Amino acid sequence: MFYKVLDGVKVIEFGHLISGPFCAKILADLGAEVIKIEDPCGDEARKQEPFLGGVAGLERSGLFLYLNMNKKVITLNPETETGRRIFTQLLSNADIFVENNSQKKMKHLKFTYTQVKKINPRIIMTSITPFGQTGPYKDYKGGELVMTEMGGVGFLSTRELDTSRAPIKYPAHLFSHQAGLSAAVATLGALLYHHGTNSGEQLDISEQECVIPDVMNPVYSYSYTKRIASRAGPLSVAPHHLLPCKDGYIHNGFVREEHWRKFVDEVMGHPAWADKEIFKDYQTRAKHWDELKPLILEWTMPRTVDEIYRTSQEHRIPIGAVYSPEQVLQDRQMAARGFFVEIDSHVTGNLKYPGVPYIFSDIPKEAPTAAPTLGQNNEEIYCTRLGYTKSDLVKMEEAGII
């Protein structure tokens, strides 16, 4: 864990890939005990790139390692009768049950909320699906690409001057993670509410609805003017672009004319061309961008991202440092906050990971534990906790129960 906030809270995770496991990770990071139930073949995420050393393997997926740190992991096949009994036993002792399976699958396994509620009326069952438990698309499949487009945010990206090019999704699985976070927030709200009572509930989290909040300006804009926002919408105060420099790119997110003036005067040292009529305001600069761009690049190219970033920011100018992953890892700000953490494991050796984006002032920060190997906690959970013997484990494994 990172912080002992949810001491004593017990979570069962029956998740795969990203949204369910990330929701459960957030709870584990905050000190809840999370037991992740994996199919005997392992969570699909174990097969996702990037792999350690570029070599695939069940214990080598960077995505899996990140999503499943701080958890315990057991293998279980709930389609078997013994598997069902074990699953039921685990649920009966849990406060929270996180799952991101299709409704069809949960119905087939006979672990719908109605059934789970009978096992444990206090439980909070957080169910994450692409489109929610109700509505015409409730059985539709999702995934990052589909959710991005169906959430309305996909259509708006990336900024193009030519909309004959397709919209481009965001990097990696950004929105799948956002769904997991949103689910964790709702779960903790429910946990607080039901604390000390004998009641629980099911949370119906739709991944589409977790993407929708990102579409903000276009909605109220449409409300008032019926204007439909597009990727080819007007660029803001020119030059509002990504500009190459010596070791990467900077972004000038100038919002006001004074930002441009300060940048040109205080940061660039007022080059002669700065006084030209054709560059006097946002409109003229946008119109004459082809002439302006090389002049700016003449200045940026000999300078590094950090040089330009720090000088501009010291003058309160909104320049962004378009950090590559390498540069993010070297960022002095994230280092000062201790954002990246190192976790050692006998399988991966010492690896650096993104940590948690928050700091608790009055709770000591703990050392996170590495994602377990497949079935790593079988003995602990089945034998020590549930009373099975070691030879039971062998038989169950042979029979495909675990």
Partner 1 sequence: MGIAYLKGTRVIACTWGWAGSWAGSILADMGAEVIKVESRRKLDNNRWHFKLGVTGGVNSGEFNFTNRGTKSITLNMRKPGAVKIFKELTKISDVIITNYTPRVMPSWGLGYDVLKAVKPDIILVSLPGFGSSGPNKDYVAYGPTIQAASGMTFSHGHVGEGPILAGANPADPAGGMWGVLGVVAALNYRARTGLGQNVDVAQSEGITAYLPELIMEYTMNRTISPRMGNRDEIMAPHSIYPCKGKDKWVAIAVGTDEEWDVLCQVAGKPDLSKDERFADQYSRWQNQDQLDKLISDWTKDFTHYEIMNMLQKAGVAAGASLNVEELINDPHVKERGVYIEQNHPEAGKSIVFRSPWTSALTAANPPAPCLGQHNDYVFKTLLRMSDSEITKLTEEEIIY
Within positions 245 to 304, which residues make up the interface with partner 1, using CB under 8 A?
248-251, 253, 255
Which of 208, 300, 377, 378 is close enough to bind partner 1 by CB under 8 A? 208
If one asks whether residue 149 binds partner 1 (CB under 8 A), the answer comes out as: yes
Tell me the window of 141-149, 292-300, 366-374, 382-390 that interacts with partner 1 (CB under 8 A): 141-149
Interface positions, 7-26, toward partner 1 (CB under 8 A): 7-8, 26
Pairing of strands 201-206, 242-245: unpaired
Contact 68, 25 (CB under 8 A): yes
Q: How many CA atoms lie within 13 A of 194 on its CB side?
A: 20
If one asks whether residue 192 binds partner 1 (CB under 8 A), the answer comes out as: yes
Closer of 108 and 316 to partner 1 (Cβ):
316
User: Residue 175 Cβ, how far from partner 1 at the closest point, in Å?
Assistant: 8
Residue 343 phi/psi, 5-degree rounding, is: -125, 135
Closer of 237 and 401 to partner 1 (Cβ):
237
If one asks whether residue 184 binds partner 1 (CB under 8 A), the answer comes out as: yes
Contact 160, 231 (CB under 8 A): yes
**Pattern 71-110, partner 1, x by CB under 8 A:** ----------------------------------------
Contact 2, 27 (CB under 8 A): no
User: Residue 83 Cβ, how far from partner 1 at the closest point, in Å?
Assistant: 24
If one asks whether residue 40 binds partner 1 (CB under 8 A), the answer comes out as: no
Closer of 160 and 397 to partner 1 (Cβ):
160
Interface positions, 302-321, toward partner 1 (CB under 8 A): 313, 316-321
Whole-number Cα distances in Å, 373 to 96, 316, 348 = 23, 48, 10
- CA angle 381–346–37, rounded 5-degree value: 30
Tell me the window of 2-10, 279-287, 367-375, 383-391 that interacts with partner 1 (CB under 8 A): 2-10
Which of 36, 72, 173, 285 is close enough to bind partner 1 by CB under 8 A? 173
Q: Is 216 helix (H, G, I), strand (E, B) or coil?
A: coil
Q: What is d(CA 9, CA 249) in angstroms, rounded to the nearest whole number?
A: 45
Q: What is d(CA 151, CA 131) in angstroms, rounded to the nearest whole number?
A: 10
Q: Which of 251, 275, 252, 255 is nearest to 265 (CA)?
A: 275
Q: How many CA atoms lie within 13 A of 287 on its CB side?
A: 8
User: Residue 209 Cβ, how far from partner 1 at the closest point, in Å?
Assistant: 4
Q: Where are the alpha helices (DSSP H) in 120-256?
A: 144-150, 174-194, 207-211, 217-225
Two tokens, residue 204: 């119906």
Neighbours of 246 (CB within 10 A): 13
If one asks whether residue 57 binds partner 1 (CB under 8 A), the answer comes out as: no
If one asks whether residue 396 binds partner 1 (CB under 8 A), the answer comes out as: no
User: Residue 160 Cβ, how far from partner 1 at the closest point, in Å?
Assistant: 8
If one asks whether residue 132 binds partner 1 (CB under 8 A), the answer comes out as: yes
Q: Which of 23, 70, 68 is nearest to 189 (CA)?
A: 23
In one-letter notation, the amino acid at residue 285 is R
If one asks whether residue 153 binds partner 1 (CB under 8 A), the answer comes out as: yes
Question: How many residues sit close enough to partner 1 to count as binding (CB under 8 A)?
Answer: 141
Phi-psi category of 387—alpha, beta or left, where left has phi over 0 and alpha has psi -120 to 50?
Answer: left
User: Residue 20 Cβ, how far from partner 1 at the closest point, in Å?
Assistant: 15
Which of 58, 84, 88, 137 is close enough to bind partner 1 by CB under 8 A? 137
If one asks whether residue 152 binds partner 1 (CB under 8 A), the answer comes out as: yes
Which of 41, 105, 107, 145 is close enough to bind partner 1 by CB under 8 A? 145
User: Residue 302 Cβ, how far from partner 1 at the closest point, in Å?
Assistant: 19
Q: Which of 130, 128, 150 is nearest to 142 (CA)?
A: 130
Two tokens, residue 274: 């700065």
Interface positions, 327-386, toward partner 1 (CB under 8 A): 327-329, 331-334, 336-337, 339, 351-354, 356-363
